[in-house]
Structure 1
Amino acid sequence: MIALLQASVLAISSFGFGAPVLADRADEKVKVEFRRAETKNAEGLVEAKVEGTRTKVYLHKEADATNKDIASARVFEDDNKKVLIEVTFTKDGAKKIATLSGEHKGKPVAVVIDGKVVCAPVLRAPLTDKTQISGSFTKDEAEKIVKGLTAP
């Protein structure tokens, strides 16, 4: 069920973060967006660099899902002790993510946190009501992100 962006996107590294995003933001709300991205520029797209990499993607202007589409988030470690963030979408959010994955299959989806593209994996399978985000962040950084995602 967690078709995750791991099996499904596993280029989102399952939504892999390239660099720490929230170094000193313990209790602040985080702005998160899931946006369609392209590998080549076209009219109306905005160029962005994936944090911590040399990879460029070209973002569609509108977000497909945002904070309001997230019901909950939690931090955990996988069997290899890699820190992951599991995001559960609201009912409406799950519909939006399913539509995104159906219409944008084989293309990247950018996870944008506070205006920075933290990863842009290629959608390989349908997304559901849950996804996992992995990357090169510490447990403390992941906890700050989760706290920011779930802040009132």
Structure 2
Amino acid sequence: MHAVHKEDDFPSAMMGCFSYSDEALIESFVEGRDIAVGVVDLGDGPTALPPVEIAPLHGDYDYAARYNPGATRWTVPAAMSEPVADRVAELAVQVHKTLGLGSMSRIDMIVDDAGGIQVLEANVAPGTTETSLLPMAIEAAGLDFGETLATMVRQALARA
């Protein structure tokens, strides 16, 4: 993924894209704050976790910013008004349910300065590393990460 902020950046972005595939998806850039909302189902239905704001310290939130500790600042819970926080939580659960997702997901969104929300994607297998967002949100919700995963495993075994 390459964000193109000025016309001169377009050719190199396309070269990078075509080094991976013969096809490119070009979308309008959505300006705003990058927010991730984890959703977990621990037996009482899908519940949104506190939102995580993603702010790379330099440039865009790319692979290096994502996986190199210290390259990004994560704020959890994200600082936002209560109505916007309620809406991102509602949207995350709605997306999770609409897609028929299981025990966990992460819904990525952009929130603009006026509180408008654009859902970008649903991640059905959120990471569990030291720079992963779902563990941060689970901890911010006051849950134990290991016990949360153990509950999901027990539920999966019961369904099997």
Q: TM-score, normalised by structure 1?
A: 0.29
Q: Which has the higher strand share?
A: 1
* Larger helix proportion of the pair: 2
- Flag the structure with more relative contact order, 1 or 2, with Cα contacts below 8 A and sequence separation at least 6: 1
Task: Report which of the two structures shows the higher radius of gyration computed on alpha carbons.
Answer: 2
TM-score (norm 2): 0.28
